[in-house]
């Protein structure tokens, strides 16, 4: 079984040693736990795809420790991108930029763009800094399944496929980062997250840039598939509490407190699976703020059934 270790300095050093060997590790972030490998190590990148069972054309998100490191990965950075990262990093925002020639096209899924973020979690940034290289780190679960928000989720899901899991406690946010495609004249939000549509729109306006109302073009970032984040249980989605039947199946209330619902969403879905619950009724939050991200995750999880 995977070794779960404390995310103190000794643990960080052990994790960095594993990364330097070309191993992959479980890494805490403020969103979800990541399956991290050294971006400069081709074997490690291939290992990430193999461990997750992830299609090779599905790009990985690259994590860096400091905002200024973006320039080493990007062929160019637009004004819109600059203003977003200045106000949102470190934090749950991923930007898509034109990739520098030095960036492995394995990590980008063969595309000439790369997804990048600076995590807010101090342990994640400490690992990147001590390694001296960016990390490629999608969520630390099998492809299409429920993301992990606790260290033991990673250990149980991936077992000996990861060298170590750094235990940084529960993830603060609980859903994956907002992804903004900044390669377009009108940036597009490809995946909603804790940085909301309204926040992105407001920040872009300071650079006289307009956020696109809709996503156009092919799937080109994590979480854009129609079916994803899926538990074994069938999720039945409801807009109003009055719609929820009294049929004995549990109800997951994501409407009363969307922030708390996001924090506990994936742990709750895993708990239902552990209890062999076949059906879960879900009360959806309103389509605003973090509610967009919750509705996105839940609709894709429900579509799997």
Q: What does DSSP assign to residue 91? A: S
Where is 48: in which H helix or E strand?
helix 42-52
Instruction: Give the pLDDT band (50/70/90) at residue 220.
Output: confident
Tokens representing 267 are 């742990």
- Range 3-205: architecture per CATH: Alpha-Beta Complex (3.90)
The answer on pLDDT for 224 being more than 80 is: no
User: What is the distance between the alpha carbons of residues 198 and 168, in angstroms, rounded to a whole number?
Assistant: 30
Give the pair of three-digit tokens for residue 224: 């854009």
User: Looking at residues 144-162, what average pLDDT do you find?
Assistant: 96
Interhelix angle 258-274/151-158, nearest 10 degrees: 40
Average pLDDT over residues 19-44: 98
Residue boundaries of the structural domains of the chain: 3-205, 234-303
Gyration radius of the chain over CA positions: 19
Contact of 166 with 7, CB cutoff 8 Å: yes
Mean pLDDT of 10-34: 98
- Residue 81 belongs to what H/E stretch? helix 79-88
Q: What is the pLDDT of residue 1?
A: 56
Above 80 in pLDDT, residue 105? Answer: yes
Q: How confident is the model at residue 284 (pLDDT cuts 50, 70, 90)?
A: very high
pLDDT at 21 over 70: yes
Prediction pTM value:
0.96
pLDDT band, residue 274 (cuts 50/70/90): very high
Per-residue pLDDT of 56-100, as tens digits, reads 999 999 999 999 999 999 999 999 999 999 999 999 999 999 999
Cβ-defined contacts of 269-278 (< 8 Å, 24+): 269/146, 269/231, 269/233, 269/301, 270/146, 270/153, 270/231, 272/231, 272/233, 273/146, 273/231, 273/232, 273/233, 277/233, 277/249, 277/250, 278/233, 278/234, 278/249
Q: How would residue 134 be classed by pLDDT, with cut points 50, 70 and 90? A: very high
- What is the pLDDT averaged over residues 207-221? 88
């Amino acid at each position: 079984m995977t070794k779960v270790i404390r995310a103190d300095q000794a643990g960080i050093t052990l994790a960095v040693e594993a990364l330097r060997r070309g191993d992959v590790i479980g890494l805490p972030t403020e969103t979800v736990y990541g399956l991290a490998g050294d971006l400069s190590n081709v074997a490690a990148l291939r290992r990430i795809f193999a461990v997750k069972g992830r299609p090779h054309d599905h790009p990985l998100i690259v994590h860096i420790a400091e905002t200024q490191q973006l320039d080493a990965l990007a062929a160019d950075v637009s004004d819109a991108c600059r203003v977003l990262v200045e106000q949102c990093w470190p934090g749950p925002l991923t930007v898509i930029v034109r990739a520098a020639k030095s960036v492995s096209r394995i990590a980008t899924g063969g595309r000439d763009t790369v997804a990048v973020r600076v995590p807010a979690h101090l342990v994640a940034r400490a690992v990147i800094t001590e390694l001296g290289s960016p990390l490629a780190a999608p969520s630390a679960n099998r492809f299409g399944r429920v993301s992990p928000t606790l260290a033991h989720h990673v250990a149980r899901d991936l077992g000996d496929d990861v060298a170590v899991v750094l235990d940084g406690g529960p993830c603060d946010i609980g859903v994956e980062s907002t992804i903004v495609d900044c390669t377009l004249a009108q940036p597009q939000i490809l995946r909603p997250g804790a940085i909301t549509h309204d926040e992105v729109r407001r920040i872009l306006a300071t650079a006289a840039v307009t956020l696109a109302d809709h996503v156009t073009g092919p799937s080109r970032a994590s979480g854009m598939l129609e079916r994803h984040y899926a538990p074994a249980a069938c999720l039945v989605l409801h807009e109003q509490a009055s719609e929820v039947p009294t049929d004995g199946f549990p109800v997951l209330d994501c409407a009363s407190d969307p922030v708390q619902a996001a924090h506990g969403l994936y742990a709750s879905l895993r708990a239902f699976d552990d209890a062999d619950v076949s059906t879960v009724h879900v009360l959806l939050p309103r389509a605003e703020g973090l509610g967009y991200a919750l509705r996105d995750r839940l609709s894709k999880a429900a579509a799997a059934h």
